Amino acid sequence: MSLPKRRHSHTRGAKRRTHWKLNKPNLTNCPNCSQKKLSHHVCPHCGHYDGRRVILESKLKS
């Protein structure tokens, strides 16, 4: 089995992980309720999509 020859410092690991980043979701304002929503998605706040009611109030979470 191959084994590491030298000690691996904390800095070295931390430097490698500087590229671990999260991407921000690309949000738009809902044309109906003007809250933030994912583009091309049903609005999770008001249940509208493409100018019509898609999800009923009773089915909406929260």
Partner 1 sequence: MRHRKTVKKLGVKKNHRQAMMRNMVVSLLDHGRITTTHARAKVLKSLADKMITLGKNDTVFSRRVAGKTIQNRETLKKLFHQIAPEFADRNGGYTRIIRAGIRRGDNAALSMVELVNYEPKVAESDEKEKKSEEKKK
Which residues lie near partner 1 (CB under 8 A)?
38, 40-42, 44, 49-50, 53-58
Closest C-alpha among 21, 24, 22, 28 to residue 45: 28
CB of 18 to partner 1, least distance (A): 24
Q: Characterize the bridge pairing of strands 52-53 and 48-49.
A: antiparallel
CB of 37 to partner 1, least distance (A): 9
Query: How far, in Å, CA of 62 to CA of 16, rounded?
Result: 40
Between 32 and 44, whose beta carbon lies closer to partner 1?
A: 44
Between 7 and 40, whose beta carbon lies closer to partner 1?
A: 40
